[in-house]
Amino acid sequence: MSTLSPTRPSLAPYESYPLQDMLKRAVQRDGSKTAVIDGDRTFTFRELDALSDKFASALAAEGVSKGDHIGLLAPNCVEFVIAFYGIITVGAVATTINSGYREREIAHQLNDSAAQTLIVHQALVEMADAAQDMAKGVTKRIVIEPESNNAGTFWGLIESAPSAIPSVTVNPKEDLVALPYSSGTTGLSKGVMLTHHNLTSNVRQLNDRSEQGVIRQDDVILVHLPLFHIYGMEILMNGSIGAGATQIMMGRFDIEEFLKMMSNHKVTMLFTAPPVGLGLSQYPGVANYDLSALRVGFIGAAPLSADLQGRIQDKVGFSIIQGYGMTEASPLTNADFMEPDMQRMGSIGTAVPDTEQKVVDLEDDTKEVGVDEIGELMLRGPQVMKGYYNNAQATADTLTEDGWLHTGDIVRMDSDRYVYVLDRKKELIKYKGFQVPPAELEGVLLEHPGISDAAVIGKLDDESGEIPKAFVVRSPDSEVSDADVMAFVAGKVATFKHIREVEFIDAIPKNASGKILRRVLIEQERGETVV
């Protein structure tokens, strides 16, 4: 049952090359074509490539060398693209940081990734300052000031960069190119080691699924999903560059601005997440905008029910398909078909080319389950990560010795190998597509003097998928309120991790070894038996 999907022919052999060459290939196809539009700034592929090379030269002059880890903290902007490709051209590794993180979260990633350099947008300098006080190894900081080329700033370094481009030899299958962070159930996030080959393979799996591909050279893509996230980084940024398509940068989401940009720029393909899809299905102003250029909407990051998928499709007037992935798989592993007669509502589709999938017993991953039976989805393919950075145990828990990746998602697979996501086996909460580790929030809650014990679960929510809900045991004589609890957490973590609901209870259910029985709380919350 773990054979390749018969519906998607193999694309093998996969060419192995450095990711930065993908930009140079786009230049060779049509260097004068517009690559990125960022407000009133427009850049061709040739300009983007030249600026990335200059930034690579500047980094080399600053002492950056192959294998160094560089933090990249910025909202969506053309500088993010230039910085990313400059980092990898010098042979360094980009560890992209959530621009919504608080100081302790930024510091954790900088420390855990052993980053020595931080590239930060001026809008985030204050938070970076606070984080650097806790970050041990960061010795160099480069500030992105879009309107300035002062010495030492991002544009200043590009302007004064040596003309010689660094010559770096890359082993695409072994050398890391990106180190994004993925939340874990046991606490803070873990660095996901992605190679050049992982990302170039996944772009091919995305764009060569059919003769025309998912993203085409004449496509216009609105980049409203964050580039620090693997979805934005790989599917939107790298996917667009790989296809030679045009990217439109959107720094901060607003539904009116979102619709206006899609209409004005004649966006042809929409990559988004369920909350935006839900917002579109409910927003009366959609009819005021011309979305006729859109040929398909691709929704990932969290599963949609067949009903909601249908409602979104009816409202926007173009086909909506679902895809699936995870940071540990670069991310894309599954997608529904572009052809309407092959689409199945509510499904994440079949595996992308050269990706094996199987559904295994929830207690014994050596046993596959039958058609339409419930189990955990496991995957294997050229896009699967090398492992977690400096975390052998987490790697062993997630990757089998023969390369199968545990997704932690509970699914069923029909006789045609279409997959339907039903629930989470892992304890991670999926809030608007972002992964929220309950153990991290529990650790924060226990810092409050008025709380003696706490547990956090994901509560089902139509708009967000799940919301973090806290079960709290007050300390003796404590009168801490739900508002107090939520405000306390809000001051310490990124917005997407905020506690959205609090319930006070007498005791947290635990097993004999003291581990929180989160599934008991989930079952209690949902009022049903949970697999």
Span 408-421, average pLDDT: 91
pLDDT of residue 183 exceeding 80, the answer is: no
pLDDT of residue 391 exceeding 90, the answer is: yes
Q: Provide the whole-model pTM.
A: 0.85
Span 339-352, average pLDDT: 88
Render 222-275 in DSSP notation, one character per residue: EE-S-TTSHIIIIIIIIHHHHHT-EEEE-SS--HHHHHHHHHHTT--EEEE-HH
Residue 197 has a CB neighbour count (10 Å cut-off) of: 25
Least confident span in 26-30, 141-145, 448-452:
448-452
- pLDDT tens track for 88-121: 999 999 999 999 899 999 999 999 999 999 999 9
Query: What confidence score (pLDDT) does residue 531 get?
Result: 42
pLDDT of residue 275 exceeding 70, the answer is: yes
pLDDT of residue 1 exceeding 50, the answer is: no
First to last CA, the chain: 22
What backbone phi and psi angles, to 5 degrees, belong to 70?
-125, 125
Residue 525 has a CB neighbour count (10 Å cut-off) of: 17
Query: What confidence score (pLDDT) does residue 317 get?
Result: 84
Q: How far is CA 468 from CA 154, 305, 441, 496, 502, in A?
A: 38, 20, 9, 9, 9
What percent of the chain has pLDDT above 90?
71
Mean pLDDT of the chain: 91
Query: What confidence score (pLDDT) does residue 142 get?
Result: 98
Does 53 or 421 have the greater pLDDT score?
A: 53
Query: What confidence score (pLDDT) does residue 213 get?
Result: 66
Span 352-377, average pLDDT: 93
User: What structural domains and CATH numbers belong to the chain?
Assistant: 429-526 (3.30.300.30)
pLDDT of residue 187 exceeding 90, the answer is: no
Q: What is the token pair recorded at 445?
A: 């809650």
Question: Alpha helix (H) ranges present in 294-388?
Answer: 306-316
- pLDDT tens track for 7-30: 688 899 999 999 999 999 999 999
Q: How far is CA 492 from CA 101, 109, 495, in A?
A: 9, 15, 9
Does 274 or 238 have the greater pLDDT score?
A: 238
Contact yes or no for 428/185 (Cβ under 8 A):
yes
pLDDT-derived band at 514 (thresholds 50, 70, 90) equals low
Query: What confidence score (pLDDT) does residue 52 get?
Result: 98
Query: What confidence score (pLDDT) does residue 530 get?
Result: 43
**Positions of E strands within 318-363:** 319-325, 332-335, 350-351, 356-360
pLDDT-derived band at 2 (thresholds 50, 70, 90) equals very low
Beta bridge partners of residue 222, listed in sequence order: 248
pLDDT-derived band at 420 (thresholds 50, 70, 90) equals very high
Query: What confidence score (pLDDT) does residue 332 get?
Result: 96
Span 219-233, average pLDDT: 95
Rounded Cα distance between 329 and 326, Å, is: 5
Tell me, what DSSP letter sits at residue 289? S
Rounded Cα distance between 411 and 324, Å, is: 12
Pairing type for strands 176-178 and 356-360 reads unpaired
- pLDDT tens track for 476-488: 889 999 999 999 9
pLDDT of residue 6 exceeding 50, the answer is: no
Q: In this structure, which amino acid lies at residue 515?
A: K
Contact yes or no for 226/434 (Cβ under 8 A):
no
